[in-house]
Amino acid sequence: MTRKITVPQLGESVVEATVGQWHKQEGDTVAVGDVLVELETDKVDVEVGAEAAGVLVSIKQQTGVDVQIGEVLGEIEEGEGGRGERSEERGARGERREAREEEGERGVVEREDGERITPVARRLAEEQGVDWAQVKGSGTNDRITKQDIENYLRQQEEAGAAETAVPQDKAVSQPPPKAEAAEPETAGEGREERIRLSRRRRTIAQRLVEAQRTAAMLTTFNDVDMSAIMKLRQRRQESFQKQHGVKLGFMSFFVKAAIGALKAFPRLNAEIEGDEMILKHYYDIGMAVGAEEGLVVPVIREADRKSFAQIEQEIREFVQKAGDNSLSLEDLRGGTFTITNGGVFGSLLSTPILNPPQVGILGLHRIEERPVAYQGEVVIRPMMYVALSYDHRLVDGREAVQFLVRLKELIEDPEVLLLEG
């Protein structure tokens, strides 16, 4: 019996993926649970496992191809995993596979030319202006793959470089012209590198542009005196870490302060859907985290019900997961409001971009000692600029400014934050 390997459900709002690395090849035996192939989505990479033991008899979608939910990736011929097969059975299975491949090769000739190239390879050929009819395919049934197009482009570049290069013996025998200025250096191989964007990076780019195009986005700023929180952390850090096994950072204070400000100005915890405003009476706070493939935003669920220690522990786990690429779709699903901290990279000031469909995002920055006026005197204080980007379709400027004022009050007087928390 043959079982199809299909693209599984990929999570909320994710309907498409790109085929990544195949861990098994045609003819390999597999056991239940073996990882067959990785799928790259705009949020996380998903491993597709074998649901039956047997032999992987066909791979329908090669690496780099875009696929939809439910689309067939390959087929497994069920059995005892093939591990106990007799050699003659394996030989017969291989002969059947070769026969299918030979039949497929004949079928390619009969198809329209458009079927002789993978979708990803066709797109790359169009982008680079390559007549792919001139390219020799190396895939199944001589199908042209992305790698074939890249190899063709590389060969063309090398051929062009060879034509413009001056032979060494000729360069030696002919003296350079006397009265002419030196020619500019010819661009050599390796001065530029063309790398296809990952699905995650493409989606990030698309959503950022979409956010700027669809939202009436504005940013308002304020600055916060961090003295009180820094003193509190200094006093309580050792006992807090000893009790909870995690450091008391700044982020838990800002999560709690943001929730306090959201409760005072609930439109910043809403979204627009058609002609309606959806007010959310729960606080799932997204925390922007830098990862190798781009920014990801895992979500702290019901953050208003969690302690400082629980928030710090979740943030630490998110950073670790982002580092080893183990964030799950559930980690990234939803969110009502986002906080991003460019200060960890040294940013002094920035205008964060909304994370649709959310209508507010809080940007934090580095703490810097600056002279400020305090009770008629100029004093040096550790200050941080904070920025709130908001969708002006739903949030008025007055609300945005007052949101930051309330946030500033809670951060500068953490006793109020703790009492109201």
**374 and 315 co-located in one domain:** yes
Which SS3 state, helix, strand or coil, does residue 48 take?
strand
Joined together, the tokens standing for residue 201 give 């990076």
Domain count along the chain: 3
pLDDT score at 10 = 74
**310 and 363 co-located in one domain:** yes
pLDDT score at 86 = 40
pLDDT tens-place string over residues 129-185: 788 788 888 765 677 877 788 788 888 777 765 554 544 444 444 455 555 455 555
- Asked if pLDDT for residue 416 goes beyond 80, the answer is yes
392 in catalytic set? yes
Q: What is the pTM of this model?
A: 0.62
Average the pLDDT over 44-67 and give the result.
87
Assess if residue 177 is contained within a domain. no
pLDDT score at 141 = 64
How far is CA 303 from its chain centroid? 24
Assess if residue 186 is contained within a domain. no
**226 and 340 co-located in one domain:** yes
pLDDT score at 84 = 41
pLDDT tens-place string over residues 75-123: 999 875 444 444 444 455 455 444 444 444 333 433 334 456 765 677 6
396 in catalytic set? yes
pLDDT score at 13 = 59
The CATH number assigned to the domain holding 62 equals 2.40.50.100
**236 and 271 co-located in one domain:** yes
Residue 377 lies in domain: 217-420
Assess if residue 159 is contained within a domain. yes
Minimum mean pLDDT range among 126-135, 283-292, 306-315, 373-382: 126-135
The CATH number assigned to the domain holding 141 equals 4.10.320.10
- Residue 346's pLDDT band, with cuts at 50, 70 and 90, is very high
Assess if residue 181 is contained within a domain. no
Phi, psi for residue 391 in degrees, rounded to 5: -90, 110
**104 and 120 co-located in one domain:** no
Assess if residue 208 is contained within a domain. no
The active-site residue out of 66, 142, 392, 413 is 392
pLDDT score at 170 = 43
d(CA 339, CA 361): 6
- Asked if pLDDT for residue 296 goes beyond 80, the answer is yes
For residue 79, count other CB atoms closer than 10 A to its CB. Answer: 17
Assess if residue 351 is contained within a domain. yes
pLDDT score at 171 = 44
**10 and 58 co-located in one domain:** yes
pLDDT score at 132 = 77
**67 and 136 co-located in one domain:** no
Nearest to 115 by CA among 148, 140, 97: 140
Minimum mean pLDDT range among 13-27, 181-195, 276-290, 357-371: 181-195
The active-site residue out of 28, 66, 324, 396 is 396
pLDDT score at 46 = 83
Average the pLDDT over 49-67 and give the result.
88
Identify the burial level of 239 via C-beta atoms within 10 angstroms of its C-beta, where 0-12 means exposed, 13-18 middle and 19 or more buried: exposed
pLDDT score at 224 = 97
**367 and 330 co-located in one domain:** yes
**14 and 45 co-located in one domain:** yes
**232 and 335 co-located in one domain:** yes
